[in-house]
Amino acid sequence: MQQKACRVQNGAAIMEYGGALMMFVCFLLIPLIDIGMIPIRHFFAAGTINDLGYRMGHCKKRSDAYTMLTSEAWWKHSLNTFGVNINNASLTLIACAQSGEKATFSQSQTLPPQWLPNGTKGPCIYSVNLNTIVKMNPIYLGKVGLPGFNTPITFDITSRSSWENLGCDPNTLQYYINE
């Protein structure tokens, strides 16, 4: 009597395991890690921009705050290292009167006398508003895809901080908020 040779079925699925693991990593794990990094980058960017806005609100003169925005590069460099690109950053001064009236002043505008601390609309509350447009890149960039998966996501991040220095320059008798 001859015995018929049988094949053993142990390990027969090992070939499918590699392909299934590759599909899991490429189509589920990497996109989930990619999407999971967006909130972390957003919190990091918002914290950095809030810190910069707070520092601008404590400048001696308003022109110093605008100079800080253009000359200091630590915040753009640290965000760029983390995968966050700053496209546009603008700084404005917002004055809120007691009556609820609000006025926004850009860098080239000086505050009219009625909006100054001793003006007719005063006392006012002044705040520095830093508005940035940021792009957060995913880990893997592609040509076609959904934002966050293969293309950057764009966010507006705004920071508002109270303007602290309401004093006058003793030499020019101008308010520091107008210099």
Average pLDDT, the chain: 85
Contact yes or no for 71/63 (Cβ under 8 A): no
Report pLDDT for 18. Answer: 83
Q: Is residue 42 part of a domain?
A: yes
For the cut 90, the answer to whether the pLDDT of residue 5 exceeds it is: no
Q: Is residue 9 part of a domain?
A: no
Q: Is residue 7 part of a domain?
A: no
Q: Is residue 2 part of a domain?
A: no
Alpha helical stretches, state H, 59-104: 62-71, 74-81
* Claim: this prediction has a pTM higher than 0.85: no
For the cut 70, the answer to whether the pLDDT of residue 3 exceeds it is: no
pLDDT digits (tens, 9 = 90+) for 74-109: 899 999 988 899 988 999 999 999 888 999 999 888
For the cut 60, the answer to whether the pLDDT of residue 144 exceeds it is: no
Q: Is residue 6 part of a domain?
A: no
For the cut 80, the answer to whether the pLDDT of residue 173 exceeds it is: yes
For the cut 80, the answer to whether the pLDDT of residue 176 exceeds it is: yes
Long-range contacts of 64-73 (CB under 8 A, 24+ apart): 65/91, 65/128, 66/91, 66/107, 69/130
> For residues 134 and 153, what is the distance between their CA atoms, to the nearest angstrom?
8
Q: Is residue 1 part of a domain?
A: no
Domain hosting 46: range is: 14-178
Report pLDDT for 56. Answer: 93
Mean local confidence (pLDDT), 121-137: 90
Q: Is residue 5 part of a domain?
A: no
Q: How far apart, in Å, are the Cα atoms of 83 and each of 21, 93, 154?
A: 28, 29, 12
Look up residue 54 and give its two tokens. Answer: 């707070």
For the cut 90, the answer to whether the pLDDT of residue 157 exceeds it is: yes
Total count of domains within the chain: 1
